[in-house]
Amino acid sequence: MTEATERFFESLPTRAPTTLGGLATGTLQIDLGTDHQTEHWLVRMRPGTVRASRERGPADAIWYSSSALFDRLITGEAQGLAAVLRNESTFSGDVVLFLTFRRFFPNPPGTRDPRQVARQAAGRGS
């Protein structure tokens, strides 16, 4: 596992209040594979709070990703839902937990809020 992945999971509790709100409650197990080894993370999500630990356990959903893909997700170079749809990662269980967790990933580099783009375009047209 990379240092960036470790820092990502460590940052979740401080980012949870603004990222989660009341969206989901449950436990997501994230399995990150490298070669023939799998690292496990158990992420317990409650409205406004997250607790992440390096363990396996009973979970409402399980998401498997390669460590390399996960590193691209945490830098915004890849998108979680697209990776699942392309079968680059797999998911089973409560899909709401996956859809909620992906909000912790950054937007792709260079992404701009479409509302801001529209405001800027409207300002130039006046």
What rounded mean pLDDT belongs to the chain? 89
Over 60: is that where the pLDDT of 14 sits?
yes
Q: How does residue 125 score in pLDDT terms, banded at 50, 70 and 90?
A: low
What pLDDT digit, counting tens, does each position of 63-95 carry? 999 999 999 999 999 999 999 999 999 999 999
Dihedral (CA of 86, 7, 19, 97) sign: positive
Query: What's 32's domain CATH number?
Result: 3.30.1050.10
From the DSSP assignment, how many helices (H) and strands (E) are in the chain?
Answer: 5, 5
The domain total for the chain is 1
Q: Are 101 and 73 in contact (CB under 8 A)?
A: no
Q: Write down the pLDDT at residue 47.
A: 87
Residue 119: its H or E element: helix 114-125
Overall size of the chain counted in residues: 126
| Residue range(s) defining the domain that contains residue 108 | 3-125
Closest to 43 measured CA to CA, from 32, 22, 57: 57
Which H or E element spans position 49?
strand 49-53
Residue 1 pLDDT class (50, 70, 90 cuts): low
Share of the chain above pLDDT 90, in %: 67
Q: Is the pTM of this model over 0.85?
A: no
Q: Between 44 and 113, whose confidence is greater?
A: 44
Q: Which amino acid is at 95?
A: V
Q: Would you tell me how many other CB atoms lie within 10 Å of the CB of residue 54?
A: 11
